[in-house]
Each structure stands twice: as C-alpha cells, then as structure tokens.
Amino acid sequence: MTKKSLLLVACALFGAFTYSIDGYCAGKENSLLTAQSDIYKLLQHGKLGDARYLSEELGFGLKISPPNYDSTAVFEARFYSIPDYLFANGLTYHAYYDEKSDTTRIDLALPFQSCPSLDAWASDWGQPVQHGMLEHALGSFNSITWPSPEKITLDITYFNRGGCRGYLQQIVKGKLLPPVQAEARTKSKGDGLAQSVADILATGDLRNFEKVAAALNARVIPSASNRDPENGEYFDLAKPILGLDSNAYSYAVNDTGWFVFTLFEVKPRHLAERWVTLNLAPNLSDVCLPASDIKRKLDQGMIPYSYRQEKYNEISFSVRGEHLISLKITSSGECVARIRFKQITDIANNLSSPVVFSLDALRPNGLLNAAALQRMDILARHLHTPKFRTIYVYLNLPDSKTNAQVKKGQKLAIAIRNSLIARGISQTQIDMRGDLVAPSLLAAWNERQLGMGVFLDPTSDF
C-alpha cells in the first residue's frame, strides 16, 4: 500500500475533516484530492476559456458578464457557487484581447483553502516543474506548462507568511468570443441583505467573526496568507454570499493597538486605534437595494443610531456603545453599491500616535487636568508592553503663536514629562523636542492644533 493510500485510510478511520497530513487528509470543505482531479481535468480539456465546462463538469456556478471598465477585456465572471477547496474572495476569471498580437489571454485565479504541493501533482502527472522565488523574499512559486495545442500554465505561489494562490493562464490566437452563458446554479434577488446589515450592527462588536458570519449567512475563516500578528487578522470567505460581490469583500481585525510598517518601509511601529473593517458590495446586476431599506431595518430593530447625509449618494450611521461602529452606505443611482463598516474598539481606552494633548489639558497650577491624567494612565499601559528606546514629546504651535502660548506649551511639556516619569518611564527615555521642527512626522496630526504630541520609538519590531 502506498503512502498516499495509507494516509487516506487514516483520514477515513479518524475522521480528519479539518486537518491535512502531507496534503492528503482533507475535509469535506478542503479536499486537495478533488482540487488535483478538477485541475487535471481542466488541463486535459485544454480550453481554459470554456466557461460551460467549468460550470457543468467542475461545479463552478458562475455568470459571465461584459467587463465594466477595461476595454481590452472580453469577459469577466461572477461566482455563485464554488468547489469546497477554494475561497470565494480572490477567485477571478477573465479574458483579455491584445489587438497588436491578435491573441486572447484567459486567466483563472484560484485561492486555495489549503495549499497543495505542485511538485506532488506534477509527479503524478509526469510533468516537469519550474521553481522560483518572489521578489523581496515574500515567498516562492512553482510552475508547470501543460503540453496542450495552446499551452496552459499552472503556477502556485507560496507566501512566507502562510497560504498560497494558484493561477491558470492560457493564450489563444484571435479574439475569443464571450462564452455561451453558463447559468448560475443559484441566483440572488438581494432578499435579506438589508436585514443582514442591521444584524451586523446589532452584534455590538465586529470582532466576533462568528456572529458577523451568522448575520451574513456565510462562513468565514481566519486567513492563512494575510495573517499578521503585528497588524491584525484577516478573514477569508469560504463560500459566495448571495447578492454580494465576493471580490469586493474584505474583513480585517486589528486588536493589537499597534501598527507596524511592513515590506518596503522600515519604520518603528506606532500606537494605532484598535479597529475592525468589513467591506461589502452588492452585485448591481442582480440586486438593487435602496439605502432606505437599510434605515428601515435599523428602525425596526430598535437599534439606537446617529445618522448623517455625507454626500448626495452617501449616508452614514454610527452606533456608540463600548465600541463605536460606523456604517457608510454609498449608492449608485437608486441602488446601494458599497457597504462599509468600521469599528473603533474600546473607545474609552483607545489611543493612536501621535498622542495629542491640547493646551487646555494644563491646569493653572501647572498640573494636568483629570482627562489628561486618564489618557496618561492609558498611555503608560501601552508603554510598558514593549520596551521603548525613546519617547519624543513635541510642541506643536502655529506660526502665529503668542508668547503666552509658547510659555504654556513649555509648561505642558514639563507636566507630560513628569507624568511619564511618575508612571515608571525613565527620564533618559524622554526626548523633549521643544518647538516642532519636523512637520512631516505629523501626517496624522492637524498641524494647526495647539498642544503636545507624544511619539514613540521602540527598540524592536521594525
């Protein structure tokens, strides 16, 4: 019995529905064996542009539509049902025509739920594999070229942070005609979408991804490829949501209270709001949801909210409790086109860099007032988490500053320094910068504001 057969028997005996052992133990929703079989069939079929084959033979429920913006695109697809081994977000299917070469390029992006080994697949198929590295040490990729009359390439990119993504591409001669419509297996009229939006607001805490998923009647999974211990966590969509564009979906939670610059920017991490974002977009060709329907659902649910008309086509709602949840609705004509949630978590204890104190924070006796002291307590809790090399205290005053403002600002700086020292911060870590000389450091700070800014320079996590 082969190693693969033994592993498959072990899977069957022990019911391993959520794990994978060497890529073979796959659950009902994450079957790498099914993925290998499906992709092999597609390669053997030799026609990546055959949408009907994807639908009828491989189980992709999709709808072909003309492109919205790209004049070189021949078609694009929206998916209503997908195989269990893929995520819905990141799954794309397009064709592009190049008039100069008179060729059409067909692309199918495959966001795998669990990463397959292309080396193992290629060995089973008797095909050679090319290996390469991504730029900036972000990961690696493996590639094969299928020897069909019009060759198909299959690439799988493996990211160092975790996760992977597959890409199928074929270039055919001439301009490909839009495929005969492959009918979607399920269609949405947008029923319940307004209720879903109201139910998400009613959760009171968007960090609870299980409640958010239940409100959407969806299944979301912590992302392997986008997981970032420093900057938070992202959630992938296991199945398309009826009435919504899966590729406009994004869901991220940063509960660390810090932001770290990554990739090409080498900067210290800094204090940031603890936040959650959730972005959705209806499929406008299938759904026309008036913004008034969402407002009516909020009223029916007795959810206390504040309301504001931002622009002629944009309205916002906010719900304030322990967390501040905002909802921004953007419409195209009569129909909602974008639904954007943002949560500021634990607003009473939230700080972001720079931590700004107005001149009014100083009492006549030279001490900080009660509100400023409370913010210093919160700041001190953050400062004791990592070890900091330097804490900069900047005085920010406009060009039209008065002598009285300068003197009060200097006293405020001393009060902040003393308050930091009283909370266990070493005086040697505090850099009193006096008047502001580097406005570029204050991109997130209104430079006309009078007061103090506290900047942090950590020793680690660059």
Clarify whether residues 279 and 411 are in a common domain.
Answer: no
Residue pointed to by tokens 């100083």: 362
382 in Cβ contact with 271 (< 8 Å) = yes
- Cβ–Cβ < 8 Å for 394, 436: yes
The reply to whether 338 and 237 lie within a common domain is: yes
pLDDT tens string 287-331: 889 999 999 999 998 889 999 988 889 999 999 999 999 999 999
H helix intervals, 176-321: 193-202, 209-216, 291-300
| 180: in domain | no
* Maximal CA-CA distance, the chain: 88
* pLDDT at residue 268 in the model: 56
Position 184 in a domain: no
**Separation in Å, CA 189 to CA 245, 328, 336:** 13, 22, 13
What distance in Å separates the CA atoms of residue 124 and residue 147, rounded to the nearest whole number? 15
The residue out of 348, 363, 398 marking a domain boundary is 348
Same domain? 56 vs 162: yes
Residues 277, 315, single domain; the answer is yes
CB count within 10 Å of CB 189 equals 12
Please say whether the beta carbons of 114 and 31 come within 8 A.
no
Residues 245 and 300 occupy one common structural domain: yes
Quick one: pLDDT at residue 17?
A: 35
| pLDDT over 50 (residue 197) | yes
- The whole-angstrom distance between residue 77's C-alpha and the CA centroid of its chain comes to 22
Tell me, yes or no, if the pTM score tops 0.85.
no
Give the 3-state secondary structure percentages of the chain, helix then strand then coil, rounded to 5. Answer: 25, 30, 40
Q: What is the CATH number of the domain that holds 387?
A: 3.30.1330.60
Beta strand pairing status for 430-435 and 388-396? Answer: parallel
Do 437 and 331 reside in the same domain of the chain? no
Q: Which two tokens stand for residue 94?
A: 């397009």
Q: How many angstroms separate the CA atoms of 187 and 243, rounded?
A: 8
Q: Are residues 40 and 23 in the same domain?
A: no
User: Are 314 and 373 contained in the same domain?
Assistant: no
What is the percent of the chain with per-residue pLDDT over 90, rounded to a whole number? 47
- Which structural domain range is residue 156 located in? 31-173
CB atoms within 10 A of CB 328: 17
- d(CA 194, CA 290) in angstroms, rounded, equals 9
The answer to the question of residue 183 being in a domain is no
Across 120-149, average pLDDT: 92
Please state the domain count of the chain: 4
For residue 18, being part of any structural domain is answered with yes
Q: Is 186 within a domain?
A: no
DSSP state of 238: S
Cβ(318)–Cβ(325) below 8 Å: yes
Among 321, 348, 375, the domain boundary falls at 348
Q: Which of 173, 205, 223 is the last residue of a domain?
A: 173
My answer on whether 231 and 328 are in the same domain is yes
Whole-angstrom distance, CA of residue 157 vs CA of residue 219: 24
Q: Would 453 be classed as within a structural domain?
A: yes
263 has a pLDDT exceeding 60: no
In a domain, 155, yes or no: yes
Residue 277, beta-bridge partner list: 252, 342
Region 145-163: mean pLDDT is 92
Same domain, 286 and 404: no
Residue 279 has pLDDT above 80, yes or no: yes
Residues near 441 by Cβ (< 8 Å), separated by ≥ 6? 394, 455
CA distances from 387 to 182, 193, 213, 220, 428 (A): 58, 46, 37, 35, 13
Asked whether residue 385 is assigned to any structural domain, the reply reads: yes
Residues 39, 23, single domain; the answer is: no
pLDDT confidence of 70, banded at 50, 70, 90? low
Cis amide bond preceding 354, omega within 30: yes
Q: Are both 275 and 382 inside the same structural domain?
A: no
Residue 221's DSSP bridge partners are 236
Model confidence at 68, in pLDDT bands (50, 70, 90)?
Answer: low
Mean pLDDT of the chain: 80
Query: What gap in Å lies between CA 223 and CA 234, rounded to an integer?
Result: 5
pLDDT by residue (tens digit) across 370-399?
988 988 888 888 776 555 667 777 776 666
The set of residues, in sequence order, having a beta carbon less than 8 Å from that of 298 and lying 6+ positions away, is 198, 201, 305, 317
Q: Which residues pair with 139 in a beta bridge?
A: 159
